[in-house]
Structure 1
Amino acid sequence: MAGTTTTTAVAASASSLNTDKLNFDKSLSFESLKRVVGEWNFHEGTKTGDALSRIPEGTEVVVTKEMELPAGVVALLPSSVKLICEAGTGYNNIDCEAAKQRGITVCNVPEYSTDAVASMVMTFVLSLSCSLIQQQRKLWGRGSENREAWATLQGLRHFELAGKTMGLIGGRGAIGSKVGEMARVFGMKVLISSRSDRPCPGAEVVSLDDLLERSDFVSVHCPLNHETRSSLGTKAFERMKRSAYFINTARGGIVCEEELCEALDSGLIAGAGLDVQVDEPPAESSRLYDLAQKNLILTPHIGWQRRESRQRLLDSVARNIEGYFRGDPQNVVN
C-alpha cells in the first residue's frame, strides 16, 4: 500500500482507544500500524472515564481520535506510556503540558485531510451561492405549489462566484491554502488574515477586521486554543456584510455559537455552513437544528471522513510511531 512503512515491527505494546471513530465502516487497513508495533489492543467506544482501564501497564503507545485526555487522566497513565498519537490535526483534546511534565511525547497528523476539508469548504460555498438546500426543499412533495417553484427563484439568492471575495481566517496553513487555490479557479479574490504580514502568493494579506468587512464568504482555518476559543462572535458578524456567509470546518469552539445563531436568525449575515459544532452532536435543544431549516447548512463533522483521508491518517500515525522509535519523532506538538 502506498505510503505505508516497511520496517520490522518494534517489540512494544500499543493501545488504540476509539478505533471505531476512524473505522466506523470497517473499510480501513491497519497493516501499516501492525508493521511498526508488534502488539496492538484495538478498542472501540472508549470514553474518557474508560481510558485508564484500557491502557494497561506495559503500554508504550496510545492512539486517540478526538477523545478528551485531561490532566487528571494523563497524570494516572502507566509509567510505560511514552507516546500519545492524536489521529487527527487538532489536539486540543489532550492536555499536552501535563503529558510533557510526565515525559510523554504528543504528536498529531497535520495534513492528512487537506483536499477533503478544502473540498468541503467549497461544497458549502457552491451550495450557499445557489441556495441549493432551500431550492431542493421547496420541491419536496407534490402539487401545484411545487410546480410553481420551477418558474421562479422565489426570492432565494442565486449568484456567480467570479469576482466575489473569499476571506480565510488563519489561511496560511495547508487547508486554507488549498481553499484559496480552489477559490481562485472560480475567479474569486482571496484575502487571508494571520499573525504574519508576510506576502502570500495569490492572496492579499489583511487585518481580520478588513477581511470581515470585505469578504463575501468568511472561512475559518485556525486551530482551537486558549487564544482562539470563542474568538468569533457578534462583533465579528457585525463587521461582515449582511449578504456574506460564514463557514467553519475547523473547530466549533472557535465560534460563539449562540451569537452565531442570533446573527443568522436576525439576518445580520446571510447564512452559514458548519461542519463542526461546540458539542458534537449538538444538544436536542440547540437552535442550530431550527436554523438548518432556514439559512444554515449543518453537517456532522464529515469533512475529514472520506475513506481515502482516513486511510491516509492511519498510515501517517504509523509513520509518527515509526519516527518516535527511530529516535526522530515527527509532528510533535508538546
Structure 2
Amino acid sequence: MKSTFTSLLFLFTVTLATAQEFKTPVDYLNYIGKETDVITRTTWKYTSAVAHSKNSRKIDVTRKTLVRSIQTAAKKIEALKEGYKGDVEYKNQLLAFLSISEKQINQEYEKIIDMQEVAEQSYDFMEAFILARDLVNAKINEEVDKLNANQKIFATKYGIQIGEDNSELGKKMKISNEVFENHTQLYLIFFKVNFTESVLMKAIAENNLIAIQQNSNALEQYSNEGLDKLKTFKPYKNDLLLVNATKKILEFSKKEALEFAPEVIGFMMLNQKFQESKKTMDDKATKSRTKAEVDNFNLLVNELNNEVGTYNKLSTKFNTERSITINSWNTAGTTFISKHVPID
C-alpha cells in the first residue's frame, strides 16, 4: 500500500471593490499568495507522485522538495517585519501554519514511515498507521482553516472581497483527497481478510489444528462483515472497479473458510491418525502384529494415499484462485487511483 499525504491549501481569489483604494493591501495579499502558491504547487507534485509513481525514492524527493519550499516561503514572509502598515496578525498566523506544516510533513511523516514498515504485521498496526497518517492530514487542514479565517478577517478589515478558490490546482487537490479516502476505506476491508488469511496459511503450514479452526472462523466473520459494509459503501463517481475486486476477494475468503479449511482439518486429522497407527505398528515386532491390526493399517494407508491426491488438487485450486484475487485487487487499486487522481 502506498501511503498518502495530502493537504489542501485554499488560495483565495482577491478582487478589488475599488482597485485604487485597496491597491496596497491587495498587493500585500498577492505577495503572500505568490509564496503560498509555490507551496501548493509543490504539494500537488508530491500528491501526484504518490498517486502515479511506485518509486519510493522519487516520492521522498518530492516530499523533501515540499519541505524546502515551506522553509523558503517562511523566510520571505518572516522578513515582512511590519506586515501591512504594522498589521502582522495575518502574517504571524501564516508563519505559524508554515511551521506546523513543516513539522508535520518532515518530522511526523518520518514517524509514519516507521509505522508503515510494520503496518502489515497486523490489522491493528495497519489501522494505527492509517489513523496516524490521517491525523497529520487533519492537523494541517485544521491549520489551513485557521489561516483562511484569518485571511478573511484581514480582507474584511481593509474592504477586500474574498472569493473561494476555483483554480484547477485547487480542484485537483480536492479530487485527490476524495479518491485516496475512498481507496483507504476499501483497502482496510481488503487488508483485514487478507491478513487473517495469511495467518491461516501459516497455521496450515505448521499443522496447527486449533489455530486453523480459530482463523478460519475469523476469516468467515471478517468476510461477512466486509460484504455487509460493501452494501452501503458509496464508490467514488460510481466507479465499481475496486468495489467489485473487494467483493471478489471477500467471497473467495469466505469460501476458503467454509470449504477449504474443513478439508484441511479433515486431511490433517487423517494423517495424524495414520502417524499414530504407524508408530503403534513400528513399536511392535512383526510376529506380534495381528492380522486385524495389519489389515486396518493397510486400509488406513490406502485411504491416506487416496486423500493425498484429492488434497493436493484442492490446495492447488485454492492457491491459484487466491493469487489471482489478490493480484486482481492490487491491480484494481492501482488503476483506480491512477484513473481518478489527475496527472500534471
Under TM normalisation by the shorter chain, which class is it?
Answer: under 0.3
Instruction: Tell me which structure has the larger Cα radius of gyration.
Output: 2
TM norm structure 1: 0.26
User: Greater relative contact order (Cα 8 A, min sep 6): structure 1 or 2?
Assistant: 2
TM norm structure 2: 0.26
Q: Which is richer in strand?
A: 1
